[in-house]
């Protein structure tokens, strides 16, 4: 999609230096940029490379203090954010014609808005899917599932009965939403495990993204909830009854056990383990592979925790350093 540099600058609220009539047609990294591309640089040391590249325009920070460059510059407080927004303008979403592929199986009792349903999708009785939502090939939507507007479910996603997705939720291939939680009661006489009922629901709020092959369990008796704007990476596991707040980020392969609570704005690295009933308070940061014991409360906006059991990273690094010195002395 062709846009003038001036249009892009306005869209991303950047200050333009240079010729606003230059035509931009795509986005790229500095190293792969071709003529017509928009690129961005996050710091001054990469600015020269961007100017030397074949790109037609550059988003840069306020470190670009010149008045005359070889290309138009779009000056933004946060070049990476501005670039992400510019991408919407320059690379509109894949166009999909509304309609239901003839190979899809839609139960008579399901209600569909103006949606795109791809090959071999199965939609069960009582499901409701609203306008603008796309279901990729092979998705299976259980009974009474509700999916809001403008969601994107990539191929082979399974949604268990009763699950609710709000609007603009993106779910990547192979993810499973609303599966049974892992709960059993052991009969002490026989040693056998009896399945604890898993009849709660999963609710996912607006603007959530869920990675490939991630799994999110329904509640046992209550609700599992993922808050607005939260982003969940591939192969993350979210157990039953978990409550995740808004604008939380969870990197790949992290696991949240049953009834864990993650408050708003928390950032969680990869392969972190959060045990049952633990609570991560607003804005805490958990380093990769750290472990939060059962019922533990993690406090501290902007504080990084690391290790198992997780402790403030300064403490953890001090301990590691002390141990290294002790071992070296021998």
Q: For residues 226 and 207, is the Cβ–Cβ distance under 8 A? A: no
Q: Is 85 in a helix, a strand, or coil?
A: helix
Which 268-287 positions form the footprint of a copy of itself (CB under 8 A)? 269-271, 273, 275
Which of residues 10 and 319 has its CB atom nearest to a copy of itself in the complex?
319
Cα atoms found within 13 Å of the Cα of residue 249, Cβ hemisphere only: 10
Q: Which sequence positions are flagged as catalytic?
A: 240
Hey, how many other C-beta atoms are within 10 angstroms of the C-beta on 15? Answer: 12
Distance CA 165, CA 148 (A): 6
Q: For residues 209 and 199, is the Cβ–Cβ distance under 8 A? A: no
Which 164-183 positions form the footprint of a copy of itself (CB under 8 A)? 172-174, 176, 179-180, 182
Of the candidates 75, 239, 266, 305, which one interacts with a copy of itself according to CB under 8 A? Answer: 239
DSSP type of residue 54? S
Distance CA 259, CA 257 (A): 7
Which 205-234 positions form the footprint of a copy of itself (CB under 8 A)? 207, 209, 211-213, 215, 217, 220-222, 229, 231, 233-234
Distance CA 240, CA 109 (A): 29
Which of residues 67 and 190 has its CB atom nearest to a copy of itself in the complex?
190
Of the candidates 49, 89, 100, 252, which one interacts with a copy of itself according to CB under 8 A? Answer: 252
Q: How far is the CB of 69 from a copy of itself (least distance, A)?
A: 22
The H helix count followed by the E strand count for the chain is 4, 41
Which 103-142 positions form the footprint of a copy of itself (CB under 8 A)? 103, 105, 118-120, 122, 136-138, 140, 142
Which of residues 47 and 176 has its CB atom nearest to a copy of itself in the complex?
176
Q: How far is the CB of 72 from a copy of itself (least distance, A)?
A: 20
Compute how many residues bind a copy of itself; rule: CB under 8 A: 98
Which of residues 172 and 225 has its CB atom nearest to a copy of itself in the complex?
172
User: How distant is the alpha carbon of residue 174 from its chain centre?
Assistant: 15
Distance CA 118, CA 152 (A): 11
Q: Structure tokens of 144?
A: 């009474």
Does position 7 interact with a copy of itself (CB under 8 A)? The reply is: no
Q: Segment contacting a copy of itself (CB under 8 A): 52-60, 67-75, 125-133, 150-158?
A: 150-158
Q: Structure tokens of 221?
A: 């008796």
Which of residues 1 and 94 has its CB atom nearest to a copy of itself in the complex?
94
Does position 13 interact with a copy of itself (CB under 8 A)? The reply is: no
Hey, how many other C-beta atoms are within 10 angstroms of the C-beta on 205? Answer: 21
Q: How far is the CB of 2 from a copy of itself (least distance, A)?
A: 17
Q: How far is the CB of 231 from a copy of itself (least distance, A)?
A: 6
- 176 bridge partner residues: 158, 215
Does position 320 interact with a copy of itself (CB under 8 A)? The reply is: yes
């Amino acid at each position: 999609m062709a846009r003038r540099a001036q249009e892009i600058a306005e869209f991303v609220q950047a200050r333009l230096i240079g010729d606003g009539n230059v035509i931009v047609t795509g986005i790229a990294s500095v190293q792969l940029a071709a003529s017509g591309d928009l690129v961005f640089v996050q710091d001054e040391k990469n600015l020269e490379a961007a100017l030397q590249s074949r790109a037609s325009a550059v988003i840069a920070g306020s470190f670009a203090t010149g008045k005359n460059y070889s290309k138009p510059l779009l000056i933004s407080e946060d070049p990476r954010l501005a670039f992400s927004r510019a991408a919407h303008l320059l690379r509109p979403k894949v166009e999909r014609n509304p309609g239901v592929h003839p190979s899809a199986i839609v139960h008579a009792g399901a209600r569909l808005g103006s949606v795109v349903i791809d090959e071999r999708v199965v939609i069960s009785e009582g499901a409701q899917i609203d306008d603008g939502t796309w279901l990729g090939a092979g998705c299976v939507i259980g009974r009474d599932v509700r999916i809001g507007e403008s969601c994107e479910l990539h191929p082979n996603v399974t949604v268990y009965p009763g699950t609710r997705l709000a609007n603009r939720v993106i779910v990547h291939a192979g993810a499973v939403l609303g599966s049974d939680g892992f709960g059993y009661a052991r009969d002490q006489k026989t040693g056998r495990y009896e399945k604890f009922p898993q009849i709660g629901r999963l609710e996912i709020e607006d603007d959530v993204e869920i990675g490939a092959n991630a799994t999110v369990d329904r509640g046992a008796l209550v609700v599992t909830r993922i808050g607005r704007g939260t982003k969940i990476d591939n192969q993350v596991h979210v157990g039953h009854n978990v409550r995740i707040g808004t604008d939380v980020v969870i990197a790949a392969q992290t696991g949240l056990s049953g009834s864990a609570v993650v408050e708003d704005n928390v950032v969680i690295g990869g392969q972190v383990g959060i045990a049952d009933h633990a609570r991560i308070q607003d804005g805490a940061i958990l380093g990769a592979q750290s472990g939060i014991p059962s019922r533990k409360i993690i406090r501290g906006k902007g504080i990084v925790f690391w290790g198992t059991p997780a402790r403030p990273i300064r403490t953890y690094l001090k301990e590691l350093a002390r141990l290294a010195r002790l071992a070296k002395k021998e």
